[in-house]
């Protein structure tokens, strides 16, 4: 991956330099580090190892710092289910790792059956049915399996595809809930009750829905909950 990426990058740089009359150094020549001391590092080594590889390593380190092991496994599992380019990113081990996180859906027997289903499904999708060749994403894969009744043939594969579609939405919803909780239950409201906190969170998270609810409807609902000394 690194070699092909470097070659593509070098081709783009050479094309740009040629278009703008910029001198391109000979890659086999020594890279000038000091005027007094001859360098034993070539231009190719400098750009490949000290620039290109170094940047890739920094990006990988940044990704590792931002995503823990569980999140990485989930993302890699989802990517392995992507049908683009005839399932070019298909990896059975990563998909099985994804399924292991759904313990309520995939017990030991289901994991064993899923392993068999993945083997037969990938052969069928790549070699036996041209409908799977031009799919653009997991959503298209789920739609195609449902339309061709393959969701019944490979039911566990289809279940995992549906879970992969739900995962980004569920993750975003959880993150929104925690973000809202930090805003509502701050130091000044640290002793807020659980029931009242849940009510505040619902209003905060689903505020777009509550924007369509009139104040009169809220007052009537509140007033009818039980008898009160003061009428609103």
232 lies in some domain: no
Distance, CA of 178 to CA of 184 (rounded, Å): 10
Q: Are 22 and 82 found together in one domain? A: no
Give the per-residue pLDDT at 71. Answer: 74
C-beta atoms surrounding 208 within 10 Å: 7
Neighbours of 225 (CB within 10 A): 7
Same domain flag for 126 and 197: no
Q: Higher pLDDT residue, 100 or 205? A: 100
In the chain, the largest separation of any two C-alpha atoms, in whole Å, equals 93
| Contact criterion met (CB below 8 Å) for 132 and 145 | no
Q: Which domain holds residue 92?
A: 69-166
In a domain, 172, yes or no: no
Specify whether the CB–CB gap between 45 and 31 falls below 8 A: yes
DSSP 132: G
Same domain for 157 and 73, yes or no, is: yes
Per-residue model confidence (pLDDT) at position 1:
47
Number of domains in the chain: 3
Do residue 124 and residue 47 come from a single domain?
no
Say whether both 75 and 151 belong to one domain.
yes
At residue 15, does pLDDT exceed 60?
A: yes
Phi/psi at 30 (5° precision): -70, 140
Same domain, 51 and 126: no
Quick one: tokens of 55? 């940047």
Rounded Cα distance between 156 and 109, Å, is: 11
Q: Which among 9-13, 116-120, 216-220 has the top mean pLDDT? A: 116-120
Mean pLDDT of the chain: 77
171 inside domain? no
Residue after which a domain boundary falls, among 66, 91, 109: 66
What pLDDT digit, counting tens, does each position of 127-183 carry?
887 888 888 888 888 898 898 888 898 999 999 888 888 876 545 554 555 565 556
In a domain, 174, yes or no: no
Whole-Å CA distances, 164 to 37, 129, 155, 157:
57, 23, 14, 11
**Mean pLDDT, residues 82-103:** 87
Q: Give strand pairing partners of 30.
A: 42
Q: Is residue 179 part of a domain?
A: no
Alpha-helical runs (H) found in 148-214: 150-153, 155-184, 194-205, 207-210
Give residue-wise pLDDT tens across range 21-30.
887 777 777 7
| Termini Cα distance of the chain | 68
Tokens at residue 144, please? 């195609």
Task: Give the domain-ending residue among 49, 66, 83.
Answer: 66
Q: Residue 170 and residue 20: Cα distance in Å, rounded?
A: 50
Q: Vertex 212, ends 207 and 213: CA angle to 5°? A: 90
Are residues 34 and 84 both part of a single domain?
A: no
Kindly state whether residues 47 and 92 are assigned to the same domain.
no
CB 15 within 8 A of CB 26: no
Show which of 15, 37, 66 is a domain's final residue. Answer: 66
Q: Look at the chain and count its residues.
A: 232
């Amino acid at each position: 991956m690194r070699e092909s990426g470097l070659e593509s990058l070098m081709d783009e740089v050479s094309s740009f330099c040629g278009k703008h009359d910029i001198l391109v150094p000979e890659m086999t020549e020594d890279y000038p580090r000091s005027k007094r001391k001859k360098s034993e590092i070539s231009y190719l080594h400098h750009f490949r190892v000290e620039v290109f590889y170094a940047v890739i390593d920094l990006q990988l380190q940044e990704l590792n710092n931002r995503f823990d092991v569980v999140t990485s496994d989930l993302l890699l599992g989802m990517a392995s289910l992507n049908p683009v380019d005839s399932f070019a990113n298909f990896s059975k081990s990563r998909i099985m790792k994804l399924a292991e996180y759904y313990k309520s859906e995939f017990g030991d027997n289901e994991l064993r059956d899923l392993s068999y289903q993945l083997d037969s499904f990938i052969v069928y999708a790549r070699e036996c049915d041209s409908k799977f060749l031009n799919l653009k994403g997991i959503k298209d894969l789920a739609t195609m399996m449902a339309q061709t009744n393959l969701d019944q043939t490979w039911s566990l594969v289809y279940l995992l595809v549906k879970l992969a579609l739900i995962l980004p939405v569920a993750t975003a919803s959880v993150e929104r809930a925690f973000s809202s909780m930090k805003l509502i239950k701050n130091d000044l409201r640290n002793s807020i009750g659980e029931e009242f906190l849940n009510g505040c969170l619902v209003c905060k998270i689903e505020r777009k829905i509550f924007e369509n609810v009139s104040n009169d409807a809220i007052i009537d609902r509140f007033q009818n909950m039980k008898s009160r000394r003061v009428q609103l």
